[in-house]
Amino acid sequence: MYEKEIERFAEDHIDELLDDLKALIRTDSSRTDALPGMPYGEGPAKALAQGEELFHKYGFKCARYDGRAIAADISDLPAGLDILAHLDVVPGGTGWTVTEPFEPVVRDGKIYGRGSSDDKGPALAALYAMRAVKELGIPLKSNVRLILGGDEECGSSDIEYYFEREPHAPMTVSPDADYPVIHAERGLTDVTFSAEAETGEILSFTSGEKFNMIPASACFTVKGADAGEIDAASEKLGIPVKVETAPVPGGVKVTVTGEGGHSSTPDLARNALTASLALISALPLSGETANLLKGLSRMFPFGDHHGGAAGIDMSDPESGRITASLNMLNMKDGRLTGVVDCRVPVCATEDNCAGVLRSGFEGIGFTVDDCLITPVHNVPSDSHFVKTLIGCYEKITGCSGEPLAIGGGTYCHDIPNGVAFGCAVPGVDNRMHGPDEFMLVSVLKDSVRIYADAIVELCGAAE
C-alpha cells in the first residue's frame, strides 16, 4: 500500500544519504588501543558519535551503551524487529586505485571508500528506511530498533555487551552481508599458533592486519639468497603476485603484493602471505625458522582455499564447504605468531577439524594457543520470517531469490531468529575488506525501499 510513497522517499533522499555516508567514511573507525570512554579507540568512538548525531537529526532518541553501541527506536511499541549494523571498519590497507580509503568519491554510479559496503552504507540504508516509515506516518503494531555497534570487525564484543543489557527482539536482521537473505552461516574456527624463531637466514617476516582479512601484502628479509635467485624463483613459481626486492644491511628485503579480501571468500583474493611462504620454500634457505615457514607452506599452500593440504577439507549439503585461510604471520622478539581463519560446516567437529589442525601444527614445530569451533547458525529457510524477507527483496528488485548459506561470521551469528539481509547483490563484488571497496548507489536506494517494505510487512499494523 505504501510502496509508491516509499519509492519516492528513497529517490528524493538519496543525495542526502550519500552526504551522510561520505561524512562517516571520512572517519577511520578501525579499532585501536582503548582510551577512557573509548573501549575500541578513538575512531570507532567518533563514528558512534556521528551515528548519534544522525539519530537526533532525524528525530530518533538515542540509547548509549558505554561507547560500545548506540540504538534508536522508531516507536514506544513492544519489540518487533531489531536491525543490527556496525560503524567500525577494517584498516584501510593498500592497493587502492580510485581514491584513498577514507576519502570517499562517487564515480560511475558507485561510492568508494572503506565502509561504503561494510557496513556504513547499509547502516544508513536501514536508518533511512526507518525515516521513511516514520516521516510517511505508516502505522506499526510493534517497534523497530536500529542498533549500531563499534566492534564487529574485531570479535563483536559490542553486541555481546549490548545483549547482556537488552533482550533480543522476536526477529533480527543485519544489513551486513548478501541479498536475498542468509539463513545459515558456517561456524568459525580461528587457530592461533606460535613457535620460537631465532634469526638465521630469515631475518624478519610480517604479514596480515586482522584475523578475518586476507593480507594483500607481506614483507620478509633473508640472507643466503640474492635478488637474482629470488626473482628467478618467483618467475618459476608463476604465482600471480608482485615481488619486489631491495638490498638492506645483512640481506635482501622482499615485498610481495597480492590482493586482499574477506576471509569468507578466499578464492576472490590473492593471499600475499601464502605466496611469500611458497617463495621462501623455493629458495635455498635452511635453519630452524626457514623450516618452520616451509612447513606452514606445505600446510597452507597458495591457492588451497579449503584446507586440503591441512587435511580438513569437508562439506555438507546444509552449510556448504569449509574455507581455510592463513591471514596473519609475524616474527617479533624471537617468536613467530600467526592466525588461520576457517569457516566450517555442520559436519566439522573437534576430532575432524580442530584436532587435525592442532596435530598438523604440532607436527611442523608450532604450538597451538587457541583453536575453538563456534557452532553453525541456522534459521529455517521455510519460516514466515525468511519468506517475508525474500518477498520484499523480490518485490523491489524484480529478481527471484533463494535463501543462502555462507561462510559464517555475520553480526547475527549468535542471535536467535537472526538473519543477514543485504546489502550486497548477486553478481557484484563490493571488494569488502579489500582495496577500492564500493557500494552501488542504486543498491543503496533500493535497500532503503527493501528495508522499509520489510518493516511494514513484519511490523506494520493491519489495515
Q: Looking at the structure, do residues 284 and 432 belong to the same domain, yes or no?
A: no
Packed helices 3-25 and 120-135: angle between N→C axes, nearest 10 degrees: 140
Residue 246 CA neighbour count, 13 Å, CB half: 6
| Cβ-based burial of 150 (10 A; exposed 0-12, middle 13-18, buried ≥19) | buried
Q: Could you list the residue range(s) of the whole structural domain that residue 124 is in?
A: 3-185+377-459
Radius of gyration from C-alpha coordinates of the chain: 23
Query: In Å, what is the CA distance from 411 to each residue of 118, 170, 321, 354, 424?
Result: 11, 16, 21, 23, 15
Looking at the DSSP assignment, which residues form a beta bridge with residue 184? 378, 405
What pLDDT was estimated at residue 99?
A: 97
Grid cell of 199 as nine digits? 634469526
Query: What is the greatest pairwise CA distance in the chain?
Result: 79
Per the listing, cell 575512531 goes with 43
Q: Looking at the structure, do residues 21 and 99 belong to the same domain, yes or no?
A: yes
Q: Looking at the structure, do residues 318 and 423 belong to the same domain, yes or no?
A: no
Find, among 91, 99, 149, 96, the residue nearest to 115 by Cα.
91
Q: Looking at the structure, do residues 363 and 414 belong to the same domain, yes or no?
A: no
Among 331, 346, 374, the domain boundary falls at: 374
Per the listing, cell 549468535 goes with 414
Query: H or E stretch including 458?
Result: helix 441-459
Contact criterion met (CB below 8 Å) for 163 and 147: no
Q: Looking at the structure, do residues 322 and 229 belong to the same domain, yes or no?
A: yes
Q: Looking at the structure, do residues 272 and 395 belong to the same domain, yes or no?
A: no
Which CATH number do you get for residue 207?
A: 3.30.70.360
Task: List the pLDDT tens digit at each of the 463 positions of the chain.
Answer: 799 999 999 999 999 999 999 999 999 999 999 999 999 999 999 999 999 999 999 999 999 999 999 999 999 999 999 999 999 999 999 999 999 999 999 999 999 999 999 999 999 999 999 999 999 999 999 999 999 999 999 989 999 999 999 999 999 999 999 999 999 888 888 899 999 998 789 999 999 988 889 999 999 999 988 999 999 999 999 999 999 999 999 899 999 999 998 888 899 999 999 999 999 999 999 899 999 999 999 999 999 999 999 999 999 887 789 999 999 999 999 999 999 999 998 888 889 999 999 999 999 999 999 887 788 888 989 999 999 999 999 999 999 999 988 876 688 888 999 999 999 999 999 999 899 999 999 999 999 999 999 999 999 986 5
Q: Looking at the structure, do residues 152 and 196 belong to the same domain, yes or no?
A: no
Among 349, 374, 399, the domain boundary falls at: 374
* Burial state string for 416-436 with b = 16 or more CB within 10 A and e = fewer than 16: ebbbbbbbbbeeeebbbbbbb
Query: H or E stretch including 406?
Result: strand 404-406
Q: Looking at the structure, do residues 304 and 353 belong to the same domain, yes or no?
A: yes
Among 374, 394, 412, the domain boundary falls at: 374
Grid cell of 215 as nine digits? 593480507
In the 8-state DSSP scheme, what is residue 38? B
Q: Looking at the structure, do residues 270 and 181 belong to the same domain, yes or no?
A: no
Q: Looking at the structure, do residues 139 and 221 belong to the same domain, yes or no?
A: no
| Number of independent structural domains in the chain | 2
Find, among 71, 67, 62, the residue nearest to 168 by Cα.
71
Q: Looking at the structure, do residues 370 and 382 belong to the same domain, yes or no?
A: no
Q: Looking at the structure, do residues 160 and 195 belong to the same domain, yes or no?
A: no
What pLDDT was estimated at residue 412?
A: 87
Cα–Cα distance measured from residue 294 to residue 157, given in angstroms and rounded to the nearest whole number: 35
What phi and psi values does residue 27 have, to the nearest 5 degrees?
-90, 115
Which CATH number do you get for residue 405?
A: 3.40.630.10
